[in-house]
Structures are given as structure tokens and as C-alpha cells.
Structure 1
Amino acid sequence: MTDSNGAADSRTWPHHELGKELSNWGRWGDDDEIGTLNFVTPEKRVAAARLVTTGKNFDLGMAFDKDGPFTPGGFRTNPQHVMTLLPSDTAGCPDGMISADDMVVLGLQSATQWDSLAHVGYDGLFYNNVPARAVNSFVGAAKNSFAKAVEHLISRGVLLDIAALKGVDRLPDSYEITAADLSAAEERQGVRVESGDILCLRTGSYQWFLEGDREHFMGDEPGPGLDTCRWLYDREVAALALDNWACEVYPCPIEGAIIPFHQVAIRDMGLTLGEMFNFESLAADCAQDGDWEFLFCAPGLKVTGSVGSPVTPMALK
């Protein structure tokens, strides 16, 4: 936070203190730009691939279209699909050939998406001591671009269904998920989150979007609080994906703070975060067969200098 003169607030923030404790700066070298995705080793990918035994596939993403999650007048807009070449435009070809082309105008975080390590920071710095000036209008993110993360977002995925843990279809608005909840979900489901895993947390919030209530989906939401950060750090989670819009409990329970979980996870831990994933069909299948692990594939787009990326993620069992 800043005062009216633009100076940083001098108070001691609990999330900044926690961030110092859980910092991964320098852990993989001073030039590292992928953070906890370093936990996804070749051996981890081989083991993840062996989880595919039935060929079942689950699409975990939103459609990229005008009916996306954002309401008019906000800081983001829904994707716009435009035809640039129609079959009628190619009429008259000697051999009868027809063709079509199209384009999409979209923000890179306008539907199911990943946050890069250049998305959120504080005190003028992003992950691994990268200064704010490294993100500018000339090159975008000169450091910590999402393009660096693309090849690393294939690993073992584990789904923890926190809504089911609590015996509800969806968690109440602003419910704060704790480390105890994560451990309890593991015990209930008979699965353990391990180093290099991509952790998927189901809150049930995506149901609001499926029901057409964008205002509720984009409003107050359940999600992880700061209490989960040490758990994620200790388990060496490679990336975290949620089924809500902000990947953390909202509104923030710390007065005056803005997305403090993002600040610790992205800026200090180097943890790639995913938002607006659809876990409904996957959760139903996992509950039926009792198998909560799968091959998770969600590379995203290699956009140079990007601070986020749209993605159509897949879970294979």
C-alpha cells in the first residue's frame, strides 16, 4: 500500500514477514525465472505419464468467447472472436476451393489462465530480486515471463476437493482454506501431494459460472489463506490451480492488504498460480473411482514477455 504521496506504507505486514521466511530467491541460481517449476524433473514427468491407464481425458478450461467471466466495465474483458476470411471471400477459385480464417482479441488472463512470476510483487521487486522496471511497455516482462514456464507445466496432478471435505457442493463465500484442510483432504482421499506435483484445489466456486452467475463468480470467494503457504513450501508443490477467479480467499482477511497470498506465493516462493479451472467433471470421476492423481498437461502460450497466459488444461487418467 502507498500513501497519498506514493510512499510505501511503513507498517510491518505479516505476509511480507512470511515471504522472507519462505523465500526461494537464489535457490536455483540468481538467474532463475521459473521458481518452483524446477521441481518438475524429467523423472517426475515419466512417472506422471505412467498414471494414464484408461485414456480418460478431462477438459479443465473455460471456452474463450464473449460469454466469459468478466462483466462490462471491468479491468479485463472477455475474448472476442472475429472472422477475417469467409468462404464467400474465396469464391471464384478455379478448382472450387473455399477457405476461412479467424482471429481472437483477448487479454492473456481473460479466462482459464496462469499467472507468471512477473504478475505480482511488492516493494518494487518481483521473484528472484527482479526490479519492477524489468516489466515495461517496450518488452513486457524482460524477466520471469510466462514463456519461460511453458515447457514445465506437465506433471503429476493431484486434486484435493475441499468442498467435499466440508460436506458441501461449494464452499461458503470467503471461506479461508487452511493447511489443516489440505492435510485433512489428503487423508480423506487417500492421496499425498509430493514434490513436483501440480496441486488442484476444488472449492466448488466454478459452479457459479456454470450457472451463469458471473457476478457471484467474480465476487467474494473461498480460497487459500497465508496459513497454506508453509504447507505448499514444505511439500515442494510446483504449481497451484484453483477453480475461482483470484486463487485466494477474498476479501482479504488482512486489513489494508491486497492479494497477500499472491504476494508470498508468486514473489517470494516463485509459485506459478492458475485461476478459473473447471474441476467439476474431474472431481466427480475421482470420487467415483477413488483415484485423485493424474497426468496434468497445461503448457499455456509461449508469448514473449507475457505476465500470464490463457490455457486449456487437460487431466488424463
Structure 2
Amino acid sequence: MSPTRTSPRATHAWASNCGPRHRWPDEDCSSTSTACSASAAPRLDHAAGPALTPDLLDAALDAQGSRVEDGDLVLVHTGWAQWYLTTDPATRAETRQSRRATGFAQSRDFAAWCWDHRIALMATDTFAVEVLPVLPDSDFLHSAPEDAGMMHQELIAKLGLPLGELWNLTALAADCRATGRWDSLLTVKPLHLTGGVGSPANATALR
């Protein structure tokens, strides 16, 4: 594909403009007892691959005393990456084979949350941001039949929202909890690939 016909939203366009540089609010949803609710509920059961809802984001923000501003890059720490890296080999193999991972439910409510908060990026420490396997009652079964109702194309193509997957946020979330500070300056520098639709994030949080 020639550069003249390449989407202005491809990774080379981001790289040419130095990538997103914004204030970053971190949301810790790894334990409802510490970040997402006042109840003493257990940590997320990542072996089961739970589906998360936008209500969890709002509860985390309230518990942390944080708010999302226009143009923010939102990072969501669920603990999935750390769980996957530290669980036993048999569980990792079974998780890969079943393509099961914690993530946000395929819902218009989640897309609306991202749109209404006018965020510039959504990144999580999960495999795909959205829950896998896709929920049988996904709101996007008819608009994304080739992807079994995944919401990637709804978020990326239709909302223009970049997604960050498999970001290891463990140390960052721990520092946030230790300092009580949940925002920072986050830079994301994608590779300069003409027409690219994905790239290593090359993300750095400055605190």
C-alpha cells in the first residue's frame, strides 16, 4: 500500500507525531476490597476469566479519589499479567489452549464509557482488554460476526481508540498504592511502520 493511501490513524502517523503524551490515571481493579468497592471481596479469579464492567472502573476511580480528564490515557490494572506469569505451567498451558482471559465484557456500555470520558487510549494488563472467550450475549454479534462479536473493531476502527494489551502494570500499581498517587505523565511511542495496525507500546510512565 502506498503512503498516499494509508490511513492517517496507522502507526507511522502516530510515530511521526511522537505518539500520545498525556496525563495518565491508573485504575487498580485487581481487588474489590482495595480499589473497586468497600466490601472485603476476594481478588479476581483469573483462572475463571471474569468479565468486567464499566461500573468497576467508576468504583475504582471513586475509591482512589481519581477522575478521568479529556484526552487521558487510562491504564487498568487487574492483576491478570502477574497471575499468568506466576501461575503453574499446566494452568498457563490450559489458559492458552482455551483462549480464556479476564477482560471487559463486550458491551455498548463499555464503548459508551470510553467515548463519554473522551479518553485517548485504554490499556490493561490483560490479554485482549476485552474478556475471552467472547460472551455469548455480546452486543456486537451482528456488527462483528467475523470476530464472533469482539469489540476491537468497535473501539479501534469506529471510536478511533487505541488499545494497549498485556501491559505489565504490577510494579506501577504497587507504587501508586504506596504513594496514594494515581496519575502521571505517560508517553507511548509506536514503531514507524507505514500502514501498521499494531506496535510494541514503548510506553514509559514518569512519576
What TM-score results when the alignment is normalised by the length of structure 2? Answer: 0.78
| Structure 1 position 175, deviation (Å) | 1.5
State the percentage of identical aligned residues.
31
- Determine helix, strand or coil for the equivalent of 1:297: strand
Per-residue CA distance 1:61-83 (angstroms, 9 max, x = gap): xxxxxxxxxxxxxxxxxxxxxxx
Is contact 1:229–1:265 with CA below 8 Å preserved after alignment?
A: yes
Does the alignment pair 1:276 with 2:166? yes
Please, which of 68, 82, 92 is the counterpart of residue 207 of structure 1?
Answer: 82
Highest CA radius of gyration, 1 or 2?
A: 1
The question of 1:160 aligning with 2:35 is answered: no
Provide, for residues 76-115 of structure 1, a one-character-per-residue CA deviation record: whole Å limited to 9, x for no partner: xxxxxxxxxxxxxxxxxxxxxxxxxxxxxxxxxxxxxxxx
Q: Classify the secondary structure of the residue corresponding to 2:31.
A: helix
Superposition deviation, residue 177 in structure 1: 1.4
Aligned in 2, Cα 1:217/1:193: closer, same or farther, shift over 3 Å?
farther
In the other structure, the counterpart of 2:59 is: 184
- When structure 1 is superposed on structure 2, of 251-260 and 178-187 the one drifting more is 251-260
Aligned length: 180
Alpha-carbon distance between aligned partners in 2 of 1:168 and 1:238, rounded to the nearest angstrom: 31
Hey, what's the Cα distance between the residues in 2 that align with 1:171 and 1:160?
A: 18
Give the aligned residue type for 2:131.
V
Asked if 1 retains the 8 angstrom alpha-carbon contact of 2:19 and 2:190, the reply is: no
Could you tell me how far 1:215 is from its partner in structure 2? 3.0
Measured after TM superposition, the shift of residue 217 of structure 1 is 6.0
1:222 maps to 2:102: yes
Report the Cα distance in structure 1 between the residues aligned to 2:61 and 2:28, rounded to whole angstroms: 9
Residues 208, 216 of structure 1: 8 Å contact kept: no
1:289 Cα shift? 1.2
Matches within 5 A, 1:247-266: 247-254=129-136, 257=145, 258=147, 260-266=150-156
Contact 1:171 1:204 in 2 (8 A): no
Q: Deviations over 1:181-235 (max 9, x none)?
A: 1111100111011110000111111013422644366431111122311111100
1:148 aligns with 2:13: yes
Match of 1:239 among 97, 114, 121: 121
In the alignment, structure 1 segments of 5+ residues that lack a partner are 1-135
Please, which runs of 5 or more residues in structure 2 have no aligned partner? 34-40
Q: Is the 8 A contact 1:146 1:309 kept in 2?
A: yes
Q: Distance in 2 between matches of 1:302 and 1:168?
A: 43
